[in-house]
Structure formats: C-alpha cells, structure tokens
Amino acid sequence: DAEVAPSSLSHKARYACQRASPLVCANQSLAEEIDILRRARELEGDAVGTLAYERAVAVIKAYPHVISPSRLESDLARISGIGTKLQVKIAEYLKKGQISEAREILASPRFRSLSEFNTIYGIGPVTARQLYDNGMSTLEHLDSYYGIRAHNPAIEEQADPNIIESRWLSIKGMPEVTIQVGLALRRDLSQKIPREEVCDMHAIVMKGLESLQHGCVSTIVGGYRRGKEESNDVDIVISHQDWRGGGEKIKGLCTKLVKHLYDEGLVTHVMHLSSFRPHNALRTGHWDSLEKALTIFRLPEADGKSRIHRRLDLIFASPEAYWTAVTGWTGSRMFERDLRLWAKDEKGYKFDSTGITRRHDSRLFYPKSEQEVFEILGLEWVDPTLRNT
C-alpha cells in the first residue's frame, strides 16, 4: 500500500475534512478516470451529478489501499458516496483499465470544445455552453467573436498608468473584458507555475508590501500549500502581525498594494478588486470581510528574457481572521465544502474564510493558529498536503 494515513484520520469518515487525501493517491488513475465523468457533468451544468462524482473521487482519493475486485466488493462499496452505479464503473475500470463512458466523453466534440473554452480565464461552464450553442467550437472562433487580433497591445499590455482607474472600473462587472484578456493571454496563462516561481512572486509581492506597511504577515495558500508541483495561479493570504490595531493597518492596503505593483510594472491587469463588503448579520461589530484582488502579474525581465503573465490572487484579512482565511483559501474545494458542512451540521458553527461563529450564542472565535481552527471545529489536524480531496 502506497500511502499510510495518520491513524486518527479514517478513510471511512463521512466528511472530506476528516480524511487524509494525498496529492497522489493509491488509485490515482482510477480517480482521474472518474474525474472525467465529473468534468462532463460540471460542463453540462448538472450540479447534482457533479457533486455525486466529486464525492466519489474524494472517497477514492482518501482510500489507502490499491483497489481490487474483492476490495471493491467487501470494503469500498460500503463507504458512503460509492453507489451501485459507480461500483459498476469501477468494476469496469478494474477489468478493462478504462471506463467506456469516459472514453466517449473525451472523444465528444462538444466536450472538447466546452473543456477548451473553460480553460480561458473568465469563461465558466455557462458561458462555454452559450458560445458552443451559438456555433463556436474553437478558440479561434472565440477570438473573432470577442475581437481579439493576433497582436492586441491594448489588451496584452497596459502601457498608460493613467487609465488604470477606468480599466479597473471597466473590468469590474464586465465579464467580456475579462474574457478578452483571458483569450489574449491564453498562451501565458495556460502554462503551469513551478514552485520556485511561486516563491519568487511571493517574495517580490511582499517586498512591495513592506514598503507600504511594515510588519505584514503572509502565507502562500491554494494548491501550492497542498504540495502541488505546478500551480495554475498564485494565492497569497496577507495580514498584519499586530493582533491589536492590526486591522486598521490592513484596511485599504489591498488597493494600495495593487496600485503599487501596477506602477512597478508587475501587475499588468486587475480582473477583480473588492474591498469591504457590508457586514454579515452574524458577525456585526467584527471586521468580517476580506479585501481581495484577482490580478495578472509578470515578473521583471531576467537576463534580457521577458517573463510570462501569471495569475495572482491576493487576499487581505484582519489579524483575527488571518487563520480562518488561510484555512479557507488552502482548499481543495471539496475540503472547504465539507469543512463548512461539518461545522454547520455537526457542530453548530458557521465557518468561512472570514471567521468562525457559534450559532446558538453568536459567539465569535479568533483562532491564533490554523491548528486552533481545527480544534475549535472539533476536527483532527489534517496537514495541508493531505487536503487534496
């Protein structure tokens, strides 16, 4: 057996946040085959089917033994999330090394187009289907529909700093501008980011931040923190070391940092910028919101060679929300979903990136570490590298 999970985390536990899910699991190719079935449902907008297959993949990702026909029958089939339909598919995989439905999906022109469209920043499943249903099937079709020329400096580069404000406004609430940028930069943005470059980006962002506000703290979250060798973007959660009064030092810093990085030529596009949201009913009196910027970033030229555009997400949290933000942005998506479900259904807490609230008395919790987040929620510690559910 490949991976040995810490003994306290049972692979049979009901919630993904109670299980150990390594980056590469004992049945990796089976998990990937079933993920194709999930992808097809997701692209077609079948929410129930998507979740069912997502849960199935999650159970397999936490299953510590190589699955054999006898294990399937005697053990795996008894785990909730693996229904009869899925058992048939797994049995087929064990016999033939593939699932025929997955092969059919991969060969389908509609699936291919929707998949390809969905790789573009700004194009989700709904837009992908609309475009396909309007007769478009290739990225070149999208280029002409969205007015992307082979070379489009206005979108590829942002040379004039004076238009940054209007560009921010134009991108906010205008999904088609995001898609134009996504299409124009697709050759860059489709390339994965190695860990070393993630660290270089993090270091340069923090250097800029230090020049604006001394004493900030940060954690690189997302897939990088879960141990992925290559990431699709860089996610950084930022706060301030001062537990008292640190919130004031963080407020408004997101916009300041983005402007600073833009002036330095590091941030080239701002796809989304949000500051404080109105407080939520359960968390009055508490600075409960996160400031967030979704940007495109490019490292400075090195040895006369220009670097490629990368996606960079910056999340600012008040000190009391720092560890819930780190937990909430580490992922995976399924892990986060089950964390919220577990907190709500099993513990009577509301958990999200902005904090933890006990429902019956609205008490707020301010965890001082990520371990404390798990303790408050009554969960065993799960290392970030075991959250690849």
Binding site for Mn ion (CB under 5 A): 199, 202, 222-223, 233, 235, 313
Residue 384 binds which entry of ligand TTP, Mn ion, none, CB below 5-8 Å type-dependent: none
* Burial readout 122-132 (b: 16 or more C-beta within 10 A, e: otherwise): bbebebbbebb
Residue 333 binds which entry of Mn ion, ligand TTP, none, CB below 5-8 Å type-dependent: ligand TTP
Residue 202 binds which entry of ligand TTP, Mn ion, none, CB below 5-8 Å type-dependent: Mn ion
Residue 239 or 332 with smaller CB distance to ligand TTP: 332
Strand blocks (E) in the chain:
193-194, 216-220, 230-231, 234-240, 267-274, 291-297, 310-316, 349-352, 355-358, 364-365
Both tokens of 2, joined, read: 């490949």
Residue 149 binds which entry of ligand TTP, Mn ion, none, CB below 5-8 Å type-dependent: none
> In whole angstroms, how close is the CB of 156 to ligand TTP at the nearest point?
22
DSSP string spanning 173-240? T-HHHHHHHHHHTHHHHTSPEEHHHHHHHHHHHHHHHHHHSTTEEEEE-HHHHTT-SEESSEEEEEEE
> In whole angstroms, how close is the CB of 72 to ligand TTP at the nearest point?
29
> In whole angstroms, how close is the CB of 226 to ligand TTP at the nearest point?
7
Residue 324 or 332 with smaller CB distance to ligand TTP: 332
> In whole angstroms, how close is the CB of 306 to ligand TTP at the nearest point?
23
Residue 332 binds which entry of ligand TTP, Mn ion, none, CB below 5-8 Å type-dependent: ligand TTP
Residue position matching structure tokens 């910056």: 314
| Residue nearest Mn ion by beta-carbon distance | 222
Residue 59 or 236 with smaller CB distance to ligand TTP: 236
Residue 220 or 253 with smaller CB distance to Mn ion: 220
Distance separating alpha carbons of residues 343 and 320, to the nearest angstrom: 19
> In whole angstroms, how close is the CB of 330 to ligand TTP at the nearest point?
6
Residue position matching structure tokens 């999904």: 175
Q: What is the DSSP letter of 355?
A: E
> In whole angstroms, how close is the CB of 291 to ligand TTP at the nearest point?
13
Residue 33 or 336 with smaller CB distance to Mn ion: 336
What three-state secondary structure class fits 35? helix
> In whole angstroms, how close is the CB of 258 to ligand TTP at the nearest point?
16
* CB-based contact 240:319 (threshold 8 Å): yes
Residue 223 or 247 with smaller CB distance to Mn ion: 223
Which residues form the interface with ligand TTP (CB under 6 A)? 222-223, 228, 231-233, 235, 328-329, 331-333, 336, 353
Distance separating alpha carbons of residues 282 and 73, to the nearest angstrom: 46
- How many beta carbons lie within 10 A of that of residue 179, not counting itself? 21
What three-state secondary structure class fits 272? strand
Residue 224 or 323 with smaller CB distance to Mn ion: 224
